[in-house]
């Protein structure tokens, strides 16, 4: 506990402007972190421009358990602190973990590892963003977040460019994806939707700051801002990917998405031989037993019928 307090004190000294706009939240965070807690994990990073010495990136994340009534009461105090400082925030949001929905806080220019908020099953969360008053260009912000479920708690503070700045910067440069080692420019639009052959689990791609992520939404390259590899497999590989993704959460919102993609694949199964179609049909019947959703069950029936044509 002592070493953690020292780290947090150092963090406070690095945030002089933050104490002006969001001082109630900062004090409430400090009070909880100095309470008797069972710390499970901490993450810290700080980066400065080597020429100017100006901070350009910071992340402080605390995951821990609170088991005493005093600590639990301090969690309520943090919630009240967000209310007190809300007029100084340019963005404040709260919510609950529902299915695969969650948000991610950017760090630095958004290309660094993001901080997920709202991923604990059944948790509640709140976060707020404040402009850095020491930044005359108003392109940097502090984000404060609290997530809690029973005794489990996550506190997070990140320093990054604002979402608006990142989007404007990304819109001025061509987006690229790499497919099988070849680079392709993406048209200068705000977002792109991948086709049914996109084989990856989109749960692994997070939207940043104010945008909640749901696997049924488009994948916004403007928010991701990075070049990433896409390796398209053959028909059976894609089917197996969708099958496994469906099995991860057969009763959640993403189940409809993956069932629909399986159906679309089955409409384009002309290149499969009889043995392959029989194998796929057998696997689809297994998937059907994993859900009670009548619409999804009908999709699977239609998929099998398509394979017979």
Q: Give pLDDT tens digits for 191-250.
A: 333 334 344 333 333 334 544 444 333 333 333 333 232 333 378 888 988 898 899 888
**DSSP characters for 232-285?**
---HHHHHHHHHHHHHHSTTSTHHHHHHHHHHHHHTT-TT--HHHHHHHHHHHH
Q: Tell me the pairing of strands 182-186 and 140-149.
A: unpaired
CB 185 within 8 A of CB 99: no
Of 85, 108, 82, the C-alpha closest to 95 is: 82
Neighbours of 233 (CB within 10 A): 12
In this prediction, residue 62 has a pLDDT band, given cuts at 50, 70 and 90, of very high
| pLDDT the model gives residue 156 | 94
Per residue in 156-186, is it b (16+ CB within 10 Å) or e — as a string?
Answer: bbbbbbbbebbbeebeeeebebeeeeeeeee
User: pTM (2 decimals)?
Assistant: 0.56
CB 166 within 8 A of CB 109: yes
CB 307 within 8 A of CB 283: no
**DSSP state at residue 70:** H
């Amino acid at each position: 506990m002592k070493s953690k307090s020292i780290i947090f004190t150092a963090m406070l000294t690095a945030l002089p402007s933050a104490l002006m706009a969001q001082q109630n939240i900062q004090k409430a965070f400090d009070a909880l972190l100095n309470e008797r807690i069972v710390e499970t994990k901490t993450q810290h990073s700080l980066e400065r421009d080597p020429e100017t010495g100006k901070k350009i990136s910071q992340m402080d994340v605390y995951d821990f358990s609170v088991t005493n009534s005093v600590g639990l009461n301090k969690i309520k105090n943090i919630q009240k602190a967000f209310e007190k400082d809300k007029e100084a925030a340019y963005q404040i949001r709260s919510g609950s973990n529902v299915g695969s929905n969650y948000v991610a806080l950017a760090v630095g220019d958004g290309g660094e590892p993001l901080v997920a908020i709202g991923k604990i099953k059944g948790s509640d969360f709140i976060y707020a963003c404040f402009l850095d008053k020491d930044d005359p260009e108003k392109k940097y912000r502090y984000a404060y977040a609290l997530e809690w479920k029973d005794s489990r708690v996550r506190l997070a503070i990140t320093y990054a460019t604002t979402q608006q700045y990142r989007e404007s910067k990304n819109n001025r440069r061509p987006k690229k994806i790499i497919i099988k080692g070849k680079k392709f420019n993406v048209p200068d639009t705000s977002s792109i939707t991948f086709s049914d052959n996109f084989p990856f689990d989109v749960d692994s791609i997070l939207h940043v700051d104010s945008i909640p992520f749901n696997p049924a939404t488009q994948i916004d390259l403007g928010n991701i801002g990075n070049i990433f590899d896409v390796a398209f497999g053959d028909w059976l590989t894609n089917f197996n990917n969708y099958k496994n993704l469906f099995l991860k959460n057969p009763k959640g919102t993403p189940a409809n998405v993956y069932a629909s993609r399986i159906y679309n694949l089955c409409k384009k199964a002309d290149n499969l031989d009889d043995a392959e179609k029989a194998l796929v049909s057998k696997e689809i019947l297994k998937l059907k037993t994993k859900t009670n959703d009548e619409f999804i069950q009908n999709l699977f029936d239609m998929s099998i019928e398509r394979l017979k044509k």
